[in-house]
């Protein structure tokens, strides 16, 4: 069981780093990583299910410095929205938490953050930064912790941004693929098999939906019948993934809790959903808190047709829409270059 003080305190229950384990052959001076977007909730898996896609994503660079402490020296692509103060920045919070655990808070490290995904998009922008911050510093230090051991630090980083303690974005971003979070409190995260022909069509309409607002409109109580059906959908979806049963995936990919309330934040949502289903999607729903939407599809060709059909609905309003077509990304965050 992992526990961690809110906002990036010292984790408990983690093994101490093993000296020499996973260490690079030569000490690293600089590391550049790519931290990809994610789709959370996946319709019926509110706060407990997510998957990783290939793009968009953030790039983060870390290098050693002669100045003690962690400093963020540059942020691009954020239009001045993000703080350079590393203790107030999502990537910095997760990195600080890791360094405290390793007893290396005074180590001189410079970080650059290059935001290449939209804010308030429902694609895990803050999660990508939180994952990237801890991952790049861990790699710069020679990987003293495994990816799974980084989980409490990256969750703390995202919690600093949105106030919620959940791993349905950071889990798949850090570990890749499809992840199920049995318990967010305990960070009990499991890998789910990826069906071979499963593709995602994700469309981002150029509007902003704040996670805080999307959470505020959620119901505080739900009917027992609704809960039972949602549980059945989640179980069916997981069985569909395990069995590569695309028809079962389609029957299960329905959200009875968040979508009925959050759809009002996304113009033309139900027109977009109808267009996706007509183009052959297995199922369609809201990505995270929105406004991005997603469909799961059997094959690349269908995914491209679905993405184009959904983008056309938003463009007709008119709202600029950016489509992303991707396999489920099994890698998650990864190194681009190091020296």
Q: Show the CA angle centred on residue 235, arms to residues 254 and 277, nearest 5°.
A: 25
Which stretches within 288-338 are classed as H helix? 300-315
Q: What separation in angstroms does the CA of 322 have from each of 110, 117, 125, 267, 281? A: 33, 11, 15, 15, 18
How many Cβ atoms from other residues are within 10 Å of residue 208's Cβ?
A: 14
Q: Which of 38, 90, 211, 302 is catalytic?
A: 211
Structure tokens at 327: 């396999």
d(CA 235, CA 4): 29
How many Cβ atoms from other residues are within 10 Å of residue 110's Cβ?
A: 19
d(CA 131, CA 126): 9
Say whether 211 is catalytic: yes
Say whether 158 is catalytic: yes
On whether the CB atoms of residues 33 and 59 are closer than 8 A, the answer is: yes
Structure tokens at 330: 């099994």
Structure tokens at 153: 């630090």
On whether the CB atoms of residues 25 and 268 are closer than 8 A, the answer is: no
Q: Which of 158, 179, 259, 302 is catalytic?
A: 158
Active site residues: 158, 211
């Amino acid at each position: 069981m992992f526990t961690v003080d809110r906002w990036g305190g010292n984790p408990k229950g983690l093994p101490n780093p093993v000296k020499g384990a996973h260490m690079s052959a030569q000490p690293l001076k600089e590391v550049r990583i790519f931290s990809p977007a994610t789709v959370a909730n996946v319709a019926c898996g509110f706060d407990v299910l997510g998957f990783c896609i290939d793009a968009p994503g953030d790039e983060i660079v870390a290098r050693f410095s002669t100045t003690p402490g962690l400093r963020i020296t540059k942020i691009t692509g954020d239009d001045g929205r993000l703080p350079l103060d590393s203790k107030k920045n999502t990537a910095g919070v997760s990195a600080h938490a890791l360094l405290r655990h390793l007893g290396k808070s005074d180590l001189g490290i410079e970080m650059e953050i290059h935001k290449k995904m939209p804010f308030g998009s429902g694609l895990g922008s803050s999660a990508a930064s939180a994952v990237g911050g801890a991952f790049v510093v861990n790699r710069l230090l020679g990987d003293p912790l495994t990816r799974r051991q980084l989980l409490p630090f990256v969750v703390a980083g995202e919690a600093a941004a949105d106030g919620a303690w959940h791993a349905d974005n950071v889990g798949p971003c850090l570990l890749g693929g499809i992840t199920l979070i049995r318990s967010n409190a305990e960070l009990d995260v499991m890998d789910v098999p990826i069906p071979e022909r499963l593709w995602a069509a994700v469309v981002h309409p150029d509007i902003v939906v704040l996670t805080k607002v999307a959470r505020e409109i959620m119901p505080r109580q739900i009917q027992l019948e609704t809960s039972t059906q949602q549980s059945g959908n989640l179980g069916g979806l997981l069985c569909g993934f395990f069995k590569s049963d695309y028809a079962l995936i389609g029957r299960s990919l329905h959200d009875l809790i968040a979508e009925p309330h959050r759809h009002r934040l996304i113009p033309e949502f139900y027109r977009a959903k109808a267009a996706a289903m007509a183009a052959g999607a297995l199922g369609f729903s809201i990505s995270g808190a929105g406004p991005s939407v997603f469909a799961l599809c059997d094959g690349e060709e269908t995914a491209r047709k679905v993405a184009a059909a959904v983008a056309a609905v938003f463009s007709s309003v008119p709202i600029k829409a950016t489509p992303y077509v991707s396999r489920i990304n099994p890698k998650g965050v990864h190194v681009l270059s190091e020296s």
